[in-house]
Amino acid sequence: MWRTFWRILIGLCLDDDGDGDRLLAIAIAIVKMGSGPMRILVVGSGGREHTLIWQLKREQPDTQIYAAPGNGGTKALAESVPLKPNEIEELADFADSREIELTVVGPEAPLVDGIVDLFDERGLKIFGPSKTAAELEGSKAFAKTIMEKADVPTAGHRTLTDYEETERYIRERGAPIVIKASGLAAGKGAIVCQTVDDAVAAARSMMVDKSFGDAGTTVVVEDCLVGEELSILYLTDGEHAFPLIPSQDHKPIGEGDTGLNTGGMGAYAPVSIADDALVGRVTDAIVMPTLAQMRGEDRIFRGVLYCGLMIVDGDPYVIEFNCRFGDPETQAILPLLESSLLDAFQKVARGESLAGTDFRFSRRAAVCTVLASKGYPGKYEKGKVINVPESLADDPDMIVLHAGTRRDTEGKLVTDGGRVLGVVGLGDDVSSAAAKSREAANAIKFSGKYFRGDIGYREIERQGRS
């Protein structure tokens, strides 16, 4: 309505011979008075999206937020929209019809599918990289090519499309070795293999048995780097890049980082090994050369560049690039943010420079423990009733963020995914934050609940030695 009203008034102003300036001033005043709260659309349904909505509401409580499709927890903060992230045409229609002023995309698939390009074509403001830029995550083979051209440190590797050739290469290279599906595989497409036979089996599963569908048609076979993983997310306008506080994800299902890889069983921040000097090296040797190479190939990367790193003897190597916020890293990072995320989103969406941006973070710590369904990352049941004690909401050092949840026909909160909830504990250090997180994890009840009780264990061990 107001967009149409604005166009009519602007037309009157342009047609007016004498009082155009006066009419324009009136039009601006009226629109400012009647436009109401800002309207934001957040695309996605997981814990990352709940956290983004939580942060945006924390910054501007009167903001009208829509979640497409959202989950059982986002309903308290945002209006649910019955659209899936891959329905990009319908999402654009919705954004246009509701005069959405900013769209924020959580998951990688719609970015790889070109949602930003579509919104841009229709004059709709959206935060995220274009389709060609999002290929940094959409194709691990492409990402390796960019890293090679930009001289970015990463593991030795080979990209292969023929299974028999892949088997020969694995047997020549030996183990341990890493087999990665080149395409999108929901964060589960990288398998660290301790034996040659396991690596050959992983390659066969991807390339022959199509365990990850078309994502495994091409594989990247990597040398296995031994060190400590680190995640650093950068907000970038394509030329300038600003890091958020570093975090560490725990991907394996079992305590002590054992067992099958998952989408992430928990994360914590800050990470003491990621001091200013190391972050500076990542910025100078990895992020800036990568952005420059992308610009040189007419693939300007605007949005969030997620750097998944392995720190080997103090040196950073890229394990992977992602084109969006990490999950569950976002759940540990944003509760510590003390400056505006929305301002950066809007600048990037408008194509403006981020020069001079300064992200400020609390000196406290945050630990996110993921509560999963029994059987995850394999088969699991849904529809289990969840009981979240009201007392958790009264504790300022506990935050419950929903991922795989929904409301059933009776309004009860039930499980609806493998990763169900992320419980964040805040404290003066990682050890105290982890204790808060475990306290909340134990208090929440649902049938088949599983969680790792050791999130942040490396940092806690370092604290004990200091």
Position 87 scores a pLDDT of 98
pLDDT tens for each residue of 140-152: 999 999 999 999 9
Using the predicted structure, report yes or no on whether residue 466 has a pLDDT greater than 90.
Answer: no
Find the mean pLDDT for residues 333-353.
97
Using the predicted structure, report yes or no on whether residue 30 has a pLDDT greater than 50.
Answer: no
Position 24 scores a pLDDT of 53
Using the predicted structure, report yes or no on whether residue 45 has a pLDDT greater than 50.
Answer: yes
Using the predicted structure, report yes or no on whether residue 35 has a pLDDT greater than 90.
Answer: no
pLDDT tens for each residue of 196-239: 999 999 999 999 999 999 999 999 999 999 999 999 999 999 99
pLDDT > 70: percent of the chain: 92
pLDDT tens for each residue of 157-205: 999 999 999 999 999 999 999 999 999 987 778 899 999 999 999 999 9
Using the predicted structure, report yes or no on whether residue 314 has a pLDDT greater than 80.
Answer: yes
Which value, to the nearest 10 degrees, does the dihedral of the CA atoms of residues 115, 66, 262, 134 take? 20
Model confidence, pTM: 0.91
Q: Please report, for residues 32, 332, 383, 455, the alpha-carbon distance to residue 432 in angstroms, rounded to integers and kept in the order given.
A: 46, 14, 33, 12
Position 16 scores a pLDDT of 53
pLDDT > 90: percent of the chain: 89
Find the mean pLDDT for residues 306-323.
97
CA angle 367, 68, 424 (to 5 degrees): 10
Position 64 scores a pLDDT of 98
From 286, 285, 292, 297, select the one nearest 321 (Cα to Cα). Answer: 286
Position 260 scores a pLDDT of 87
Using the predicted structure, report yes or no on whether residue 11 has a pLDDT greater than 70.
Answer: no
Position 186 scores a pLDDT of 76
pLDDT tens for each residue of 363-416: 999 999 999 999 999 999 999 999 999 999 999 999 999 999 999 999 999 999
Position 6 scores a pLDDT of 46
pLDDT tens for each residue of 240-285: 999 999 999 999 999 999 998 899 999 999 999 999 999 999 999 9
Using the predicted structure, report yes or no on whether residue 29 has a pLDDT greater than 50.
Answer: no
More confident call, 414 vs 4: 414
Mean of per-residue pLDDT scores for the chain: 93
Q: Which DSSP string do the residues of 447-461 spell out, in sequence order?
A: TT-B--S-TTHHHHH
Find the mean pLDDT for residues 30-53.
84
420-442 as b/e: b if 16+ CB within 10 A: bbbbbbbbebbbbbbebbbbbbe
Contact yes or no for 57/63 (Cβ under 8 A): yes
Helix axes 196-207, 163-173, angle to 10 degrees: 160
For each of the domains in the chain, give its residue range(s) and CATH number, in order of start: 2-134 (3.40.50.20), 156-223 (3.30.1490.20), 228-465 (3.30.470.20)
Helix boundaries (H) for 329-408: 329-333, 342-349
Q: pLDDT band at 19, cuts 50/70/90?
A: low
Q: pLDDT band at 22, cuts 50/70/90?
A: low
